[in-house]
Amino acid sequence: MYLDIFLIAVMLISGLLAMVRGFMREVLSIAAWGCAAVATLYSFPRLLPWAKQYFNNDYVAMGATAGGVFLLTLIIVSALTVRISDRVLDSRIGALDRTLGFLFGLGRGLLIVVVAFIFFDWLVPAKSQPDAVRNARSQVVLRGTGQWLMSLLPEDPENTILKRFKKRPADEDAEPPPEQRSDRAPADRRSGLVPDGPGVRVL
């Protein structure tokens, strides 16, 4: 019962906030966060070597690079999206935009509770969960939606993200592979720069 009330309350609060802000602003806000994340993933390997020149600690350099790119991109994109959403609210479709925003907020509130329920269900065994959770009518919907969301994630999301951040740009001054080194030796011998034997130079 309490879980059902909590779900309805969160959905209504989220819906009212989204209605005030408008559907366009809510969608563009998510787009701004997505752009910031993409910009961080794309720029991180390229800017990290430059950041290491100013930070002695690698972890500090990684945090400063990722955080700086993310925040800078988020601020710039958000400033643009706010202007666009304000024009939509002041236009003739402002009422429609607020109605769609309310519906969007309801879905967002449901998603927030689903994510919270996933962590709760993972931390607390089913036998130890209170009756207010086990007997709630909404727990079936929350658990089913949570399983659907988990099926969309990769098998090992943590390692997938870490591998993406650990990528480094190709080093131009890297040592050539063994094949190139082996091919270079005969060429040097043919040019007469490397002796072929003790006291003997090939001309």
pLDDT for res 162: 62
Measure the CA–CA gap between 69 and 44, rounded to whole angstroms: 8
Predicted local confidence at residue 158, as pLDDT: 60
**Cα–Cα distance between 4 and 111 in angstroms, integer?**
14
Low-confidence stretches of the chain (pLDDT < 70) are 156-203
What lies within 8 Å, CB to CB, of 38 at 6+ separation is none
- pLDDT value, residue 170: 45
Does residue 29 contact residue 81 with C-beta atoms inside 8 Å?
A: yes
- Specify the pTM: 0.60
pLDDT in tens, 111-151: 999 999 888 888 888 788 888 788 888 888 888 888 888 88
Backbone angles phi, psi at 15, to 5 degrees: -65, -40
